[in-house]
Amino acid sequence: MDALIQEFFNLSIMGRVAPLILRGLGETLLLCAFLVPLGLSGGLGAMLLATSRSRLVRFAAMVSIDFFRSFPPLVLLIFVYSGLPFMGIRVSPVLAIGVAFLLNSSSYYGEVFRAGVLSVPPGQSEAARSTGLSAGQTFLFVVLPQGVRNVLPELLSNTIELVKLTTLASVISAPELLHSADLARSLTYNSSPLVLAAAIYLMLLWPLVRLVRRMERRLVA
Amino acid sequence: MTMLDRFAATFLDLDVAARYAPEMLAGLLVTLAIGLAVIVTGVGVGLALAVLRAFGFRALDFVLIQIVDILRALPPLVIILIIYFGLPNVGIVIPSFVVLWMSLSAVLAAFSEELFWAGITAIPTGQWLAARASGLGFFQTLRYVILPQAVRIALPPLTSRTISITKNTALGSAIGVNEILGQAISAEAFSANATPLAMAAALYVLLFLPLVIASRSLEHRYRAGRRGWTR
């Protein structure tokens, strides 16, 4: 029991590595602040293409969405980060993360947005068009707001997945929370820094998981 | 060299592909084996836990919900690293592929318990009452009336969740499991060429694209007749 506490919940080690871990937390938050808007806008774009009036565009969009959903995000990340340099294209870790996660998360967000937009009854857009709104206005002010509201829980749980995904950045040694924690683990030869990082992820994401649970229950009721 | 030639030489070198094909194939088998094991244990445990919740023990449900939420909130790589680096230091040594299997199974169990439970609660109470009134016992009602309907409801979201968690077998490369990505990374280092990575990507598409398409058609079938906005 004592050995377990020493290995996983060693407070003095946690205290010693706290500054390093907190810096990692800051970097993770920065990463999320840039990846979430990027993924959301990529997802909106993917949704627009996947609901296009042209059959060809729709088909191409669906194929590429399915294609990127078939890749483990880590494979995409390693492919961009360590494959492209062999072609003579230098990629910084942050750029690699941006590209790989944009492709991955816009496919997932795109599917969610598509489900939302398709859940709005056609009567809504017909009514909007007959009151004189243009197609663009109808989409922007009538269809999109209702569609997004219908899939709010899925959007949020997708965002939780994206935040969890940022831990993959540690594999290519990009600065973020898990990377700092793993560095601290190898310096102290003790797993407590990893447990501290886990606790921080829990503090960030547990409330959101509970929120998703509550939103889903309200939609069912 | 044109850009296209350079791309072909980097990602589509046939000599390199031939040389590392056996390793990549071995990696494919490892990914398949761990992936299947994760699906069987994860979904199985998830279903068992959802059935356990149907009994309605308040205290048990409370504990279960907390554990499930924690597993849904933690990044899988964090769980994997804690088990992989922590346990040997307290004298428990387990092979890295077992660490991968256990971690991903736990995560999948948490998500699938939630989906199965949502399916069970979606069945109207009348189904329970009618089944019990016709003389079926609690277990028989659950087994023959409730679960078949609940599983149908849970199936589409369960499929896409299972795919995204099974894809995480690639995280094994971070702890030295010789699955597809792990093999590709070492082959890439040995050959100084990115072809093994392209092979890995192709293998993943081969494995998961049919599943992704299947989950899409499942979702489509269950959503049939609820067509909405069109441009």
**Interval B165-190: pLDDT, tens:** 999 999 999 999 999 999 999 998 88
Contact between A191 and B89 using a beta-carbon 8 Å cutoff: yes
According to the model, what pLDDT value does residue A165 have? 95
Q: Do A119 and B226 touch (CB under 8 A)?
A: yes
pLDDT band (50, 70, 90) for residue B45:
very high
B84 part of contact set with chain A, CB < 8 Å: no
**For residues B38 and B48, what is the distance between their CA atoms, to the nearest angstrom?**
15
Q: Provide the pLDDT for residue B18.
A: 85
Cα dist. B109→A19, B47, B50 in Å?
Answer: 35, 8, 10
What's the confidence (pLDDT) of residue A4?
Answer: 86
How large is the average pLDDT for residues B73-82?
96
pLDDT at B124: 92
Query: CB distance A209–B118 less than 8 Å?
Result: no
Mutate to test the interface with B, among A167, A202, A206, A208 (most CBs of B within 10 A): A167
Quick check: B134 pLDDT over 80? yes
> Which residue in A71, A76, A66, A69 sits closest to A101, CA to CA?
A76
B188 touches chain A (CB under 8 A): yes
Per-residue pLDDT band at B219 (split at 50, 70, 90) = confident
pLDDT of A219 reads 63
Chain A environment of B231 (Cβ under 8 Å): 51-53, 135, 139
Across the interface, which of B168, B198, B216 has its CB nearest the CB of A72?
B168
Which of A53, A120, A164 is closest, CB to CB, to B228?
A120
Domains and CATH numbers, chain B: 20-220 (1.10.3720.10)
pTM: 0.91
For residue A175, the 8-state DSSP code is S
Please check the confidence at residue B223 and state whether its pLDDT lies above 70.
no
Q: Is the pLDDT of residue B229 over 60?
A: no
Kindly report the length of chain A.
221
| pLDDT digits 0-9 by tens, A113-152 | 999 999 999 999 999 999 999 999 999 999 999 999 999 9
Q: Using a pLDDT cut of 90, give the percent of chain B over it.
A: 70
Q: At what angle do helices B180-191 and B195-223 cross, to 10 degrees?
A: 150
Show residues of chain A in contact with B174, CB under 8 Å.
171
Domains and CATH numbers, chain A: 2-220 (1.10.3720.10)
Contacts of A198 in chain B (CB under 8 A): 74, 78-79, 82
What is the crossing angle of helices B195-223 and A55-70, to 10°?
A: 120
Q: Is the pLDDT of residue B141 over 80?
A: yes
Q: Which of the residue ranges A58-72, B6-20, B83-97 would you say has the lowest mean pLDDT? A: B6-20
Q: For residue A84, name the pLDDT band (cuts at 50, 70, 90).
A: confident
Give the pLDDT band (50/70/90) at residue B90: confident
Of B77, B163, B231, the CB nearest to A178: B77
Q: With CB atoms and an 8 Å threshold, state whether B229 touches A178.
A: no
Give the pLDDT confidence of A148-200 residue by residue, as tens digits. 999 999 999 999 999 999 999 999 988 899 999 999 999 999 999 999 999 99
pLDDT band at A19 (very low <50, low <70, confident <90, very high): very high
Average pLDDT for chain B: 90
- b/e map of B19-52 (b: 16 or more CB within 10 Å)? bbeebbeebbebbeebbebbbebbbebbbebbbe
- Residues A120 and B231: beta-carbon distance below 8 Å: no
Among the partner-chain residues A72, A170, A185, the one whose CB lies closest to the CB of B167 is A72
Report the pLDDT value the prediction gives residue B204, as an integer from 0 to 100: 94
Asked if B230 reaches chain A (Cβ–Cβ under 8 Å), the answer is yes
Q: Which residue of B has its CA nearest to A194?
A: B82
- In total, chain B counts a number of residues equal to 231
* B70 has a chain A CB within 8 A of its CB: yes
Are A71 and B197 in contact (CB < 8 Å)?
no
Average pLDDT over residues B83-101: 92
pLDDT computed for residue A21 by the predictor: 94
Which has the higher per-residue pLDDT, B65 or B218? Answer: B65
The per-residue pLDDT for B230 is 55
Express each pLDDT in A33-60 by its tens digit: 999 999 999 999 999 999 988 999 999 9
> How many Cβ contacts (< 8 angstroms) between chains A and B?
169
The pLDDT score that the predictor gives to residue A110 is: 95
Residue of A86, A101, A159, A164 for testing the chain B interface, max B β-carbons within 10 Å: A86
Determine whether the interchain pair A198/B174 forms a contact, defined as Cβ–Cβ distance below 8 Å. Answer: no
Q: What is the DSSP string of chain B?
A: --HHHHHHHHH--HHHHHHHHHHHHHHHHHHHHHHHHHHHHHHHHHHHHHHHHHT--HHHHHHHHHHHHHHHHS-HHHHHHHHHHHHHHTT----HHHHHHHHHHHHHHHHHHHHHHHHHHHS-HHHHHHHHHTT--HHHIIIIIIHHHHHHHHHHHHHHHHHHHHGGGGGGGGGT--SHHHHHHHHHHHHTSSHHHHHHHHHHHHHHHHHHHHHHHHHHHHHTT------
